[in-house]
Amino acid sequence: MSTDAFVPAADRYASTPYRRVGRSGLRLPPISLGLWQNFGDDRDPQTMRAIVRRAFDLGVTHFDLANNYGPPPGSAETHLGRILEQDFRHHRDELVISSKAGYLMWPGPYGDGGSRKYLLNSLDQSLDRLGLDHVDIFYHHREDPDTPLEETMGALDHAVRSGKALYAGISNYSPQKTREAAAILADLGTPLLIHQPSYSMFNRHIENGLLETATDLGIGLAVFSPLQQGLLTNKYMSGVPQGSRASGTGGSLTSRQVHDHTYQARRHGLNGIAHERGQSLAQLALAWALRHPTVATTLVGASSVRQLEQNIETIEHLDFAAEELARLDEFAVDGTAR
């Protein structure tokens, strides 16, 4: 890997409309870099480093991880940690690094769920892989019906009070559990900063209560999969390219979803509106996910610098006319991609 010194662009903050996270003092870029499925050992280290560098030059200050991101699990944190050490030692305070724990990470009864033991041990492991003394946001990754919510939120509170995390977050929680988690954390004196749910034009489940809940509680949303794993891009307009995510087996996107006739018709309708706006389908999808002020940021992966740049160009046109939103609703139907 290249050892050339990284000198960030002097104008990196000039054009990014940072968005406040709920009622907190933290602001995030509208497009953040998510490292879910594109920062594992199967990726070129030089490309990963180039993506992170370019993201920072374009005003992206937020990098989102979880303990199990890879593949294999843990490798995304290791790769980012190496890049942070090489290029960002003098810029750590300009970055928001988040991680999560909640899904299976190691064998045995203590490597999964929402227990205090699992969450705090996992946080220590994440910090070791990242080479950091703290993350900015630490999330519980999913509801755990087998662990009292008081124990899980107590672990998040401890992470913040110990200085190993600056803010507490949750992911994939229902509206009711979000209210309960926020109340417990408020009693402990550690506000719930942020919730990370999936959200896209084909997956609108958060509009059935979570958006309202987050707004009421003053919690920001960091939405993942706004491009529906690539379905809301031009990548699959003519089928399934060889080597794409949908061409494999056992992944989060299937060939059946790509070829579904209902999805195809809705997708082409959305693409037509995107063209009228002077945007790609992906840029339209990102702008649409950001239309609600409670959404603080969208988490987007990138397999190349050019793909990253195209996604970030979305911020040049985030506004929608009421007539456009009405037309989009004809095609942006919840459940399309299931």
Asked whether residue 134 is assigned to any structural domain, the reply reads yes
Q: Report residue 336's pLDDT band, with 50, 70 and 90 as the boundaries.
A: confident
- Residue 235: the pLDDT is 77
Contacts of 261 (CB under 8 A, 6+ apart): none
Bridge partners of residue 168, in order along the sequence = 138, 192
The 10s digit of each residue's pLDDT in 262-293 is 788 999 999 999 999 999 999 999 999 999 99
Q: Quick check: is 162 in a domain?
A: yes
Q: Is residue 114 part of a domain?
A: yes
Task: Please give the full DSSP string across 108-164, using - where no structure is assigned.
Answer: STTSSSS-HHHHHHHHHHHHHHHT-S-EEEEEE-S--TTS-HHHHHHHHHHHHHTTS
Of 110, 197, 120, whose CA–CA distance to 152 is shortest?
A: 120
Note if the pTM is more than 0.85: yes
**Number of Cβ within a 10 Å radius of residue 148:** 12
Q: What is the mean pLDDT of the chain?
A: 94
CATH of the domain at 163: 3.20.20.100
Tokens of 225: 């999969």
User: 113 in the Ramachandran plot: left (φ > 0), alpha (ψ -120 to 50) or beta?
Assistant: left
Q: CA–CA separation, 222 vs 257, rounded Å?
A: 25
Instruction: Please name which of 65, 55, 58 lies closest in space to residue 17, comparing C-alpha atoms.
Output: 58
Lookup result for tokens 């999913």: 142
Q: Supply the DSSP string of 41-89, one letter for each residue.
A: TTS-HHHHHHHHHHHHHTT--EEE--TT-TTTTTHHHHHHHHHHHHH-T
- Asked whether residue 323 is assigned to any structural domain, the reply reads no
Question: How much is the pLDDT for 247?
Answer: 46
Our count of domains for the chain comes to 1
Q: How many CB atoms lie within 10 A of CB 30?
A: 23
Q: Is residue 271 part of a domain?
A: no
Q: Residue 185's domain spans which residues?
A: 19-228+288-317
Residue 196 falls inside a structural domain: yes
Model confidence pLDDT, tens digit, residues 108-151: 999 999 999 999 999 999 999 999 999 999 999 999 999 999 99
Residue 34 forms part of a structural domain: yes
221 part of a folded domain: yes
